[in-house]
Structure 1
């Protein structure tokens, strides 16, 4: 990816992109019980199981397919998540990867931002509403500011943690009203794992 400030001009590379997705799948499988526990407090208690199933399908698709470029690979990821993950997670994460896939030519920070904007549009949500955007937007801001990967992860972590006191305004958790406060948002947590996986796979070249 290059050092801070160089991200926009450096190609990510097929190996790095695939490593990002595979690492994310590994982290999601590992965290599935925790994600389900978080979702049991504010949602349907299925976030971990649904996302783990979807990422397992993604890995199977990567194992059985070949791709002309990074964009095609990420498009496959997005389409697989949309078709295999139930609830809101499939459309939201699917949209993220589809938008990233179409904007990679502009550099990874811009592509990541395009993915985040896609999530915001699809979910009709914004920062401060106790959603995955509370994690993803600070990460996108840090990437576009040329921060190194540890700083990007720190920004994502702070955003994730900010969801604990918030009252949910979107999704299933919003049905709880004030009772949703005091709980970490499961989507914010799974989004943090997405950023962690990117730091691990893409930051190796920093």
Structure 2
């Protein structure tokens, strides 16, 4: 089970991770984007953490929905709508819950991915956060299907996420600002894929603690 307290710890851990990697994410984005991914994500998650006390006593679904609204209103560029949509769709299936089973978390991750796919219209291989979210969902689902517990399933998901992130480097960008660069986008790791990996890595860190 993943408790509500662990979800709150995850949000805090992710905000801290983003703050620590703000310059790195912005450097990645400078190569193929607007050079603002780290700055935008840091601003958004600082706002989330500042508002956390106002919704921390609610159920998991309501917490994730509040995170979504905060991100959409405070992050510019593509990151706000995409991460906002991820958290909004992820919240949809866990309304009223105080803890999550393996199946709950599997649906949460799948719903979040579905939201990003619909919002961003990106496919696997387009050099976006989808290249991290999609294989991680599949790995988690396979692990749960094999009877693994949440920690083991998340470990598999994070391994897949890290590989997905690294795999964006040789890709040609087909979505967003990076796609304008054409061939010049090849050889650079995608910043959105990187922050998505950090999000999943932080979830694993909290759950296995």
Q: Normalising by the residue count of structure 2, what TM-score does the alignment of the two structures yield?
A: 0.89
d(CA) in 1 for partners of 2:208 and 2:86?
Answer: 20
Cα distance, 1:66 vs structure 2: 4.0
The aligned residue for residue 15 of structure 2 is 25
Unaligned runs of 5+ residues in structure 2 are 96-102
Structure 1, residues 6-58: CA drift from partner, whole Å, max 9, x if none?
xxxxxx22101111111110100000000000000000000000000000000
The aligned residue for residue 57 of structure 1 is 47
Contact 2:25–2:195 under 8 Å retained in 1:
yes
d(CA) in 1 for partners of 2:183 and 2:46?
Answer: 35
Greater relative contact order structure (CA < 8 Å, 6+ sep): 1
d(CA) in 2 for partners of 1:67 and 1:90?
Answer: 24
Contact 1:110–1:144 under 8 Å retained in 2:
no
State the superposition RMSD in angstroms.
Answer: 1.2
Cα distance, 1:142 vs structure 2: 1.2
The aligned residue for residue 168 of structure 1 is 173
The aligned residue for residue 140 of structure 1 is 137
Q: Normalising by the residue count of structure 1, what TM-score does the alignment of the two structures yield?
A: 0.91
The aligned residue for residue 7 of structure 1 is none
d(CA) in 1 for partners of 2:22 and 2:194?
Answer: 11
Contact 2:8–2:56 under 8 Å retained in 1:
no
d(CA) in 2 for partners of 1:115 and 1:67?
Answer: 22
Q: Which runs of 4+ in 1 moved over 3 A?
A: 64-67
d(CA) in 1 for partners of 2:56 and 2:20?
Answer: 26
Cα distance, 1:202 vs structure 2: 2.4
